[in-house]
Amino acid sequence: MNISDSIKKLGVGVDKPTLDKSTANKGSDKAAGVSTTAASTDNVTLSSASVQLQSLESGLAAGEVFDANKVEEIKAAIARGDFSVDTAKVADGLLQSVKDLIQPNNKG
């Protein structure tokens, strides 16, 4: 299997760049002292999965990573001195994390 077969299976399409006549003559025009401006004619086609991923990334970037109101509530509770930690819940969470880390990955 070569790389291009892998890319085709992933559904990633890249159009071959086309060469505009003004671009083709650009080198000879420079030698003659003539300045020309050529528009880029390269095209890239993204798969639907890539477009969907970009949409998800945009949505996540716009959203908040944490609940600011909840953070303020916790800060206020700490300042008042009535914030309590449920040690059993913390211990259960730590134990579950360790179990997840030491179990072999059976996904494939």
| 9: in domain | yes
**SS3 of residue 13 by DSSP:** strand
The pLDDT assigned to 91 comes to 97
Strand partners, 3: none
The single-letter code of the amino acid at 85 is V
Query: With 50 as the cut, is the pLDDT of residue 48 above it?
Result: yes
Q: How many domains does the chain have?
A: 1
pLDDT tens readout for residues 64-97 = 778 889 999 999 999 999 999 999 999 999 999 9
| 35: in domain | yes
**SS3 of residue 18 by DSSP:** coil
> Phi, psi at residue 13, to the nearest 5°?
-115, 135
| 77: in domain | yes
The pLDDT assigned to 1 comes to 43
pTM over 0.85: no
Q: Which of 16-30, 33-47, 56-70 has the lowest mean pLDDT?
A: 16-30
Residue whose structure tokens are 């997840």: 100
| 18: in domain | yes
| 107: in domain | no
Domain, as residue range, for 18: 3-102
